[in-house]
A and B are shown apart, each in its own frame.
Chain A
């Protein structure tokens, strides 16, 4: 692979990993909240979770720019107090791909949390356990397949994000240029070889994700029959 700049590949992996990590930390508690509460607030948050899927990526990116740009309140606050800039930095790319990928994680986790039989939770309660202990010892271990499949989907989505990342982080070579944008750029520059290799890598990752997800759901069915 001489002559090919692999920076976009590594950046994409770093960005996607960071996004999934953030999505896990914030998304799992949110998914748990949504699975346990059925009220107006939870329905509202639940539908809000669909927005990143429904919105065109550029529109979503535009909103993030307005919300977090250097001229916005939040942007100014972060820059003045912490010297943090989001727009046109790798941080912006992480934020963009977190926003577009977190719905997939939350949805998958929420469904698998809901599928945990209420009797297991009640049994653990009468056996003297707190809700937090029950979450880590009963709910998460029983629902982990759903969580992993959500993580895989979120990772794939984060890795492949184009529009939102381009809007928020731009495509500064060796700084914020991620794989999907690099593919586009190399095609624009008539560099078919680079584009092909990158497309191949992305395809393998997508297929691997698909394999993991179907493998997990297959095992889940098998376990029930046992």
Chain B
């Protein structure tokens, strides 16, 4: 169980994070410079917060109240850096052995041999870091961390150096190794929501140094806690909304010139916004009966590999829809016919600024 409550001021940037994490993988997501990596470094003891407390399994690592600040080397924390940070002058074997060099030789040799097997680095022990592929480097970085038997594993954008195809392979490799060999809390810093969703159980959103939301991943996607949280989770359609009426099941809102029916729960706050993800919006070629169907004007159509992005204007709002390339509406659109958008009420979420 990790408990973090830390504040650190650096110039005009203030980091103020407050969260707990018990088991599984927690992804920390946010735009660059929001304090994600800094949070990891505070936990690891590489940056000292100005105030707060950090505890792991009831062991206090840092506390301003009781004047405790355990140095990084005694915290028993596993850290995998963005660029692997393997020591360039040491072989794979020496890199892995480095963290347990104070143990008796027999135990050391067995542990290194064991972890090399588990991280599929067999036969690479004598190689130097620059002779390894990106994936092998990160596996080696993971191996040398796991061999020290840390209490928690911190991964700082471990896949960002890899590109496209290799990235997916590396991701699944590392996560499989972690899931099989490490059963304590894991924090994964990333700026990619897809990655966060694929790999983790819970997601924490940091914005300008503050934790905006920490929840199960589906909750974060379905109910982002703020407009920015919604943007960070990849929501493209967010609009300010006026509540007209709200009953238990249905909420009527006015959004520009549109009157929309929504099914979500309205937060009891001012400045309400609604959001709907691009792939939930349908584009129809003719007006069928149903709710939330509006005539729209197509502004822009961008073809992707697997789907087509359509930007439409509707009642003074710009909607971005992600639709199938085989969509009937697209064919109609090419014939310059009038189109309609449909917004499923149950897919609309409410949020605030």
Contacts and interface: CB of A to CB of B under 8 A. Distances in A.
Interface of A: 117, 119-120, 122-130, 137-138, 141-142, 223, 226
B89 A123 contact: no
A141 B89 contact: yes
A21 to B, nearest CB: 25
Interface string B6-20: 000000000000000
B165 interface: no
Given A123-B79, A125-B46, A130 B88 contact: no
Contact of B73 (A125, A138, A142, A223): A125
B144 interface: yes
A146 to B, nearest CB: 14
A128 B72 CA distance: 7
Interface in B80-96: 81-83, 85, 87-89
Interface string B107-141: 00000000000000000000000100000000000
Contacts of B72: 122, 125-126
Given A122-B41, A122-B85, 8 more contacts: A119-B81, A124-B87, A124-B98, A125-B46, A126-B45, A126-B75, A127-B144, A138-B87
DSSP class of A's interface residues: helix, strand, loop or mixed? helix
B99 interface: yes
Interface of B: 41, 44-46, 71-75, 77-79, 81-83, 85, 87-89, 98-99, 102, 130, 144-145, 148
Nearest to A137: B98
Nearest to B81: A119
Of A117, A125, A129, A137, chain B has the most CB atoms within 10 Å of the CB of: A125
A123 B143 CA distance: 13
A126 B85 contact: no
Nearest to B88: A142
A72 B99 CA distance: 53
22 contacts: A117-B85, A119-B85, A120-B85, A120-B87, A122-B41, A122-B44, A122-B79, A123-B85, A124-B87, A124-B98, A126-B44, A126-B73, A126-B77, A126-B78, A126-B145, A127-B145, A128-B148, A129-B98, A141-B89, A142-B87, A223-B88, A226-B130
